[in-house]
Amino acid sequence: MLARAKFYLFVFLSLLVAHSYAQAPAILLAQIYHDDIQVQDYLVSEKLDGMRALWDGQQLTSRQGHPIHAPAWFTQAFPATPLDGELWLGRGQFETLLSTVRQTRPNDAAWRQVAYYVFELPDAKGDFSQRAQQIIQIVKQARSPYLKSLPQFRVKDRQALKRTLAQIVAKRGEGLMLHRADAPYLTGRSQVLLKLKPQLDAEAKVIAHVPGKGKYQGKMGALLVETPTGIQFKLGTGFSDAERAHPPPIGCQVTYTYRDVTNTGKPKFASFLRIRPSE
């Protein structure tokens, strides 16, 4: 009996570890926009405040490789072609979207408000301008109200780009994405994809809770976080009273906004935005 119990424990732990270390798919990640580029070389799209999702022809998965439990009817008309895109509910609706997507038992009524906006074709041939046209045709052929192509457009110059950004932000949009029109399909963090926002953002790992003082006595005063490059700093603004009472757990990833970095690489005017979804 003891040997059998040990065997089942081993199987359970193996499955748990396998789930925890789901293989994250290779995807293209953006660099920060900089003014020394020729904007005419790029196709521009709105930066959606949604959840990145990959479609392999049968299943939606997150950027970490975890399955997304969408209703069967949501993806029923999706093509067999692999797609890369964003699940989106609308501007300023990220928290509601996340609540919908993270449910293992999908809520049909909530999912009917969601759409999957496609902006890339993994491993497809041709440059990005050609792939963008292919996406339009794929979406048209699918005839699904839940599958959409993310509009891509060109701007004349840097001034037109900044005006477009201002218009998007005024409508509660997050920013813009610029993808080199002549780029082949690539993965990893690359200069062929740039993000332009009124504020920059990045992610860091929570490594400690710093106790609060004064009006925050007995609550969290700041998070001690560490960036992927090993830089540590305190993140002390942007929290609600509820978040200070129940702070993001140690070990989780958080997203923060900032304006610039110091000579040592630390972000200036860093402010907590949200916990990064783990699935």
Asked if residue 21 is part of any domain, the answer here is: no
Q: Do 257 and 152 fall into the same domain?
A: no
Asked if residue 236 is part of any domain, the answer here is: yes
Residue whose pair of structure tokens reads 């994405």 in the numeric block: 177
Q: Do 190 and 214 fall into the same domain?
A: no
Q: What are phi and psi of 56, to 5 degrees?
A: -95, 10
Asked if residue 20 is part of any domain, the answer here is: no
pLDDT the model gives residue 279: 57
Q: Do 57 and 75 fall into the same domain?
A: yes
Q: What is the CATH number of the domain that holds 238?
A: 2.40.50.140
Q: Do 144 and 243 fall into the same domain?
A: no
Low-confidence ranges of the chain (pLDDT < 50): 1-21
Please tell me the chain's helix, strand, coil percentages from 3-state DSSP, rounded to the nearest 5: 25, 30, 40
Residue 35 CB burial class (10 angstroms; 0-12, 13-18, ≥19): exposed
Note down the domain range covering 144: 28-196
For residue 43, give the nearest of 112, 128, 149 by alpha carbon. Answer: 128
pLDDT the model gives residue 23: 77
pLDDT the model gives residue 46: 98
Q: What is the CATH number of the domain that holds 162?
A: 3.30.470.30
Asked if residue 60 is part of any domain, the answer here is: yes
- If one counts the domains in the chain, the total is 2
Q: For the segment 42-80, what is each residue's pLDDT rounded down to a tens digit?
A: 999 999 999 999 999 999 999 989 999 999 999 999 999
Q: Which of 196, 228, 247 is the last residue in one of the domains?
A: 196
pLDDT the model gives residue 278: 66
Q: Do 104 and 212 fall into the same domain?
A: no
Q: Do 39 and 164 fall into the same domain?
A: yes
Q: Which residues pair with 42 in a beta bridge?
A: 180
Q: Which of 196, 212, 233 is the last residue in one of the domains?
A: 196
For residue 261, give the nearest of 195, 202, 207 by alpha carbon. Answer: 202
Asked if residue 248 is part of any domain, the answer here is: yes
- Cα–Cα dist 152/83, whole Å: 16
pLDDT the model gives residue 2: 45
| Catalytic center residues | 47
For residue 274, give the nearest of 88, 49, 90, 116 by alpha carbon. Answer: 49
User: How many residues belong to the chain?
Assistant: 279
239 Cβ contact list (under 8 Å, min separation 6) = 220, 247, 272
Q: Is pTM beyond 0.85 here?
A: no
Q: Which of 196, 219, 245 is the last residue in one of the domains?
A: 196
pLDDT the model gives residue 57: 96
Q: For the segment 189-206, what is each residue's pLDDT rounded down to a tens digit?
A: 999 999 998 878 899 999
